[in-house]
Amino acid sequence: MIPLSWYIIFAAVLFCIGLYGALARRNALAILMGIELMLNAANVNIVAFWRYGTFAIRGQVFALIVFAVAAAEAAVGLALIISIYRRRTTIAVDEINMLKW
Amino acid sequence: MTSVQLVFLLTAAITLYAALMVVLSKHLVHAALWLILVLAGIAVLYVLLNAGFLAVVQVAIYIDAIAILIIIVVMLTQRAMGETSMQVNRSWWLAALTSIVLFVGLVALFNQIPFLQSDAPALDVDAEVLLDDLGVSLVDVDQYILPFEVASVLLLAALVGSIMIAWPRGSASEEEHEA
Amino acid sequence: MPFDINDPFVWFGEWFRGLLQGLGLAPGMVTFVQNLLGALALGTIVLVATFFLIWAERKIVARIQDRLGPNRVGPYGIFQTFADAIKLVTKELITPVGADIIPYNLAPLLTVMSVVGVWAVIPLAPRLTGSDINVGVLYVVSISAVGTLGIMLAGMSSNNKYALLGAFRTVAQMLSYAVPMVLALLVPVLLSGSMGMVQITEAQGSIWFVLLAPLAALIFFISSIAEVGRAPFDLLEADSEIVAGFNIEYSGLRFGMFFVAEFLHAFTISALTATLFLGGWQGPGANDYPLLGLLYFFIKTAVVYFVVIWIRGTFPRIRIDQMNSVNWKFFTPLALAGLVVTAVAEKLVTEYSLNRILVHLGSSALLFVIVFTILGSYARARRRELKGLAIRGSEVSAVESQA
């Protein structure tokens, strides 16, 4: 039916697209979106290996913990972005380059 | 080409196109909407992988919480960067090169592992049993209760931390925070 | 195969399958066509039923307000909604200048889709469910929040200050009230041991869950009303405050879709409350005669819908700060406490017996008494404080009038 390699290659492409988004964009929110893409790609990878392996339940547990970590990281990241926007009125990451002004 | 393969190819194509639009889009609200399409596509892939619970959790956590949060923050900070200023930094070509090199390297690596060409093993347990196993494994002392509890402490820390960070400046950030 | 009164839906499915196979389709294709037609039928019935729901609401609210309601178009005004629908369909679709085209057009679709999608998992009769998934409750939660997304997109893409204000209020209210709703939803899951709606309905054969966990039922009901955005929580479209909120810039059929989505959502949460807490299709004789089960389901849903309309006609609108404080300071801690208390009570007594009912009811009553003692003392302290302010105020005005 569907060989495992299809899922792995899909996850690899998604990860590389997210990597480009995280490295090349100037807007902090766009970088956060790239990070979410990378997390989702890793999650697809984990669940694919769980399905094509021996059905040990730890694959799904791993994926659930990744969900929780992604939610926590998105919340803190967005709070940071709002805080930076309040002080500097900019969220372009190459303009936030001084520790104190 | 069986119907399942067709569904997979269609979903994967839509998801990858949407992911490309996320990183290439100039307008941030459009990028957030494409991100929602990516997350929905990944939920469909979870259903194809017989992980129905994870699919519903994906929709509930990512689309209903994280994507809405991202859209709200985009709306709050929209004055910062309009569509005319540069969306990519000076070394974007290096980032593209890195992504392509990484992808080629990964594909070359995968072709050397014969296990990856295998098909899915038969599904011999019921979905209900899988869900029961998952639930039991998260609270069983011999299994994965420790990562479960650590994840809840992490979420609590993130909750408290993000409230403290985003508290409006000048109005008593030393006040007692509400957990 | 003769008509089987004990299993009419399965009989119908087999007859239809025979019909399709007689036309010469492959078995896989027959299943696909059956599922497709079933989904189409469910969605269409649900959307057409909205016409009569809107008529019922207008008549009942009118009677509560001591007037007649629509009574011109058809006997008792029953075709009024058809006339309104024809009017909406023939109106011009105006797109405001500067509106973001794709979210603007997508928002009504998302809102309607999220509401109709919930009907796929509701068990209508003993062997009649759209889709018997074993995570039905979680599915309902996630699909409802897609509606929140739709409303937010509508407000944001309209290029209008009032629409944006409406969108932010919407997101604040809907996301806030999703928390106690989900916590209260977990109580039937605990009591029946499964997240599937069919299993929850079947577990209520001996006793309805509203008798075991009345607090959770009440919290779920009130939070759902807030999720839908009905009065008294209808500050999302407060006509006197923000000029209709997020759907200002929508005209014609797009507005019609928001309208339909709101009324259908109210009916959907009535159906959910009936399924999760009132026993769904359970009733005397429903197991043997599934058509009776369908009747019981509709009666229960209609009763809950009547209560929703009754509440709409009775209470004034609440302010946004009152809404926030009552949610985070009252409902969420109460729902959490109720969940913990139910879990402990369920562990003490598991099999069906009088003890189980008494233990659950007793723990609920204890929680009720504790909460209302705390509320009472808080209210008394506030009243004393306000009376102190009033006395001081009258002293000041007495001094001023003397001077």
Q: Helices (H) and strands (E) in chain A — how many of each?
A: 3, 0
**Out of B20, B73, B120, closest to residue A2 by CB:** B120
Query: Which of these, C354, C184, C335, lies nearest to C272 by C-alpha position?
Result: C184
Query: Which of these, C113, C140, C137, lies nearest to C43 by C-alpha position?
Result: C113
- Chains A and C touch, using 3 or more CB pairs below 8 Å: no
pLDDT of the residue at C352: 63
Q: Does residue A13 form part of some domain?
A: yes
Q: What torsion do the CA atoms of C175, C180, C186, C191 make, to the nearest 10 degrees?
A: -160
Tell whether ipTM is more than 0.95.
no
Q: Which of B21, B37, B56 is the mutation pick for testing C, counting most C CBs within 10 A?
A: B56
Q: Does residue B129 form part of some domain?
A: no
Q: Does residue B116 form part of some domain?
A: no
Query: Which of these, B156, B173, B172, lies nearest to B164 by C-alpha position?
Result: B173
Q: Tell me how far apart the alpha carbons of residues A25 and C151 are, in angstroms, rounded to a whole number.
A: 29
Average pLDDT over residues A7-20: 93
Q: Does residue A98 form part of some domain?
A: no
Residue C223 makes CB contacts below 8 A (sequence gap 6+) with C177, C178, C180, C181, C184, C331
Query: Per DSSP, what are the bridge partners of residue C61?
Result: none
Query: Per DSSP, what are the bridge partners of residue C125?
Result: C128
C-alpha distance from A95 to closest chain B C-alpha (Å): 11
Q: Does residue B58 form part of some domain?
A: yes
Omega of the bond leading into C333 within 30 degrees of 0 (cis): no
Q: Does residue A100 form part of some domain?
A: no
Task: Residue B43: give the domain boundaries.
Answer: 1-86
pLDDT of the residue at B84: 58
C102 contacts in chain B (CB < 8 Å)? 30, 33
Average pLDDT over residues B143-157: 91
DSSP, collapsed to helix, strand or coil, labels residue A25 as strand
Q: Does residue A24 form part of some domain?
A: yes
pLDDT of the residue at B176: 45
Q: Over the range C277-315, which residues count as b (16 or more CB within 10 Å of their CB) and which as e?
A: bbbbbbbeebeebbebbbebbbebbbebbeebbebbeee
Residue in chain B nearest A35 by alpha carbon? B23
Type of residue numbered B103: F
Neighbours of C10 (CB within 10 A): 14
Q: How far is CA C169 from CA A21, B36, C265, in A?
A: 31, 22, 18
Q: Tell me how far apart the alpha carbons of residues C275 and C209 are, in angstroms, rounded to a whole number.
A: 10
Residue A25 makes CB contacts below 8 A (sequence gap 6+) with A31, A34, B23, B87, B88, B89
The CATH number for A86's domain is 1.10.287.3510
**Out of B36, B60, B127, closest to residue C142 by CB:** B60
Q: Does residue A9 form part of some domain?
A: yes
Say whether pLDDT at A14 is over 90.
Answer: yes
Q: Does residue B174 form part of some domain?
A: no
Residue B62 makes CB contacts below 8 A (sequence gap 6+) with A36, A40, A67, A70, B39
C146 and B59 within 8 Å at the Cβ level: the answer is yes
The answer to whether the beta carbons of residues B110 and A9 sit under 8 Å apart is yes
What's A90's DSSP letter?
-
The answer to whether the beta carbons of residues C333 and C184 sit under 8 Å apart is no
Residue C87 makes CB contacts below 8 A (sequence gap 6+) with none
Residue C125 tokens read as 């009769």
Please report where in the chains the tokens 């209560």 appear, as a residue.
C307
Q: Which of C105, C142, C164 is the mutation pick for testing B, counting most B CBs within 10 A?
A: C142
What's B172's DSSP letter?
-
The whole-model pTM stands at 0.88
Q: Is the dihedral of CA C334, C336, C340, C342 positive or negative?
A: positive
A47 and B51 within 8 Å at the Cβ level: the answer is yes
Residue B32 tokens read as 């957030």
The chains found to touch B (3+ Cβ pairs under 8 angstroms) are A, C
Query: Which of these, C375, C391, C306, C292, lies nearest to C53 by C-alpha position?
Result: C306
A94 contacts in chain B (CB < 8 Å)? 89
C-alpha distance from B177 to closest chain A C-alpha (Å): 15
Type of residue numbered C148: T
φ and ψ at B88, to 5 degrees? -120, 150
Residues B157-168 have pLDDT tens digits of 999 999 898 887
φ and ψ at C128, to 5 degrees? -130, 100
Q: Over the range C341-352, which residues count as b (16 or more CB within 10 Å of their CB) and which as e?
A: bbeebbeeeeee
A51 falls in which pLDDT band (50, 70, 90)?
confident
C102 and B30 within 8 Å at the Cβ level: the answer is yes
Residue C241 makes CB contacts below 8 A (sequence gap 6+) with C235
Number of domains in chain A: 1
Q: Which of B28, B29, B64 is the mutation pick for testing C, counting most C CBs within 10 A?
A: B64
Which carries the bigger pLDDT value, residue A48 or residue C394?
Answer: A48
Q: Tell me how far apart the alpha carbons of residues A11 and B55 are, in angstroms, rounded to a whole number.
A: 16
C-alpha distance from C96 to closest chain B C-alpha (Å): 18
C-alpha distance from B77 to closest chain C C-alpha (Å): 13
C103 and B29 within 8 Å at the Cβ level: the answer is yes
Q: Tell me how far apart the alpha carbons of residues C315 and B37 are, in angstroms, rounded to a whole number.
A: 40
Q: Tell me how far apart the alpha carbons of residues A14 and A7 are, in angstroms, rounded to a whole number.
A: 11
Say whether pLDDT at B179 is over 60.
Answer: no
Residue in chain B nearest C147 by alpha carbon? B64
Task: Residue A44: give the domain boundaries.
Answer: 4-91
Residues B74-132 have pLDDT tens digits of 888 876 555 556 777 778 889 999 999 999 999 888 888 877 766 666 666 666 677 88
Q: Does residue B80 form part of some domain?
A: yes
Q: How far is CA C326 from CA C173, C226, C331, in A?
A: 11, 12, 7
Residues 154-173 (C) with a CB less than 8 A from some CB of B = 156-157, 164, 168, 171
Say whether pLDDT at B144 is over 90.
Answer: no
Number of domains in chain B: 1
pLDDT of the residue at A27: 87
Q: Tell me how far apart the alpha carbons of residues C303 and B179 are, in angstroms, rounded to a whole number.
A: 38
Class of residue B142 by CB neighbours under 10 A (exposed 0-12, middle 13-18, buried 19+):
exposed
Q: Tell me how far apart the alpha carbons of residues C323 and C265 are, in angstroms, rounded to a whole number.
A: 20
pLDDT of the residue at A36: 93
The answer to whether the beta carbons of residues B81 and A29 sit under 8 Å apart is no
A68 contacts in chain B (CB < 8 Å)? 151-152, 154-155
pLDDT of the residue at C3: 67
The CATH number for B35's domain is 1.20.120.1200
Query: Which of these, B11, B47, B109, lies nearest to A12 by C-alpha position?
Result: B109
pLDDT of the residue at B121: 65
Residues B15-50 have pLDDT tens digits of 999 999 999 988 888 899 999 999 999 999 999 888
**Out of A21, A70, A74, closest to residue B23 by CB:** A21
DSSP secondary structure string, B41-105? Answer: HHHHHHHHTT-HHHHHHHIIIIIIIIIHHHHHHHHHTTTT--SSS-SB-TTHHHHHHHHHHHHHH
C146 and B75 within 8 Å at the Cβ level: the answer is no
Q: Which of A9, A35, A61, A80 is the mutation pick for testing B, counting most B CBs within 10 A?
A: A61
Class of residue C325 by CB neighbours under 10 A (exposed 0-12, middle 13-18, buried 19+):
exposed
B175 falls in which pLDDT band (50, 70, 90)?
very low
Average pLDDT over residues A18-29: 90
The answer to whether the beta carbons of residues B59 and B46 sit under 8 Å apart is no
Say whether pLDDT at A55 is over 70.
Answer: no
Q: Does residue B95 form part of some domain?
A: no
The chains found to touch A (3+ Cβ pairs under 8 angstroms) are B
Q: Does residue B33 form part of some domain?
A: yes
Residue B123 makes CB contacts below 8 A (sequence gap 6+) with B50
3-state SS track over chain C:
CCCCCCCHHHHHHHHHHHHHHHCCCCHHHHHHHHHHHHHHHHHHHHHHHHHHHHHHHHHHHHHHCCCCCCCCCCHHHCCHHHHHHHHHHCCCCCCCCCCCHHHHHHHHHHHHHHHHHHCCCCEEECCEECCCCCCHHHHHHHHHHHHHHHHHHHHHCCCCHHHHHHHHHHHHHHHHHHHHHHHHHHHHHHHHCCCCHHHHHHHCCCCCHHHHCHHHHHHHHHHHHHHHCCCCCHHHHCHHHHCCHHHCCCCCHHHHHHHHHHHHHHHHHHHHHHHHCCCCCCCCCCCCCHHHHHHHHHHHHHHHHHHHHHHHHHCCCCCHHHHHHHHHHHHHHHHHHHHHHHHHHHHHCCCCCHHHHHHHHHHHHHHHHHHHHHHHHHHHHHHHHHHHHHHHHHHHHHHHHHC
Residues 175-204 (C) with a CB less than 8 A from some CB of B = 175, 194-195
- Chains C and B touch, using 3 or more CB pairs below 8 Å: yes
What's B114's DSSP letter?
G
Q: Does residue A101 form part of some domain?
A: no
Ranges in chain C, pLDDT < 70: 1-4, 235-244, 350-353, 401, 403
Say whether pLDDT at A20 is over 90.
Answer: yes
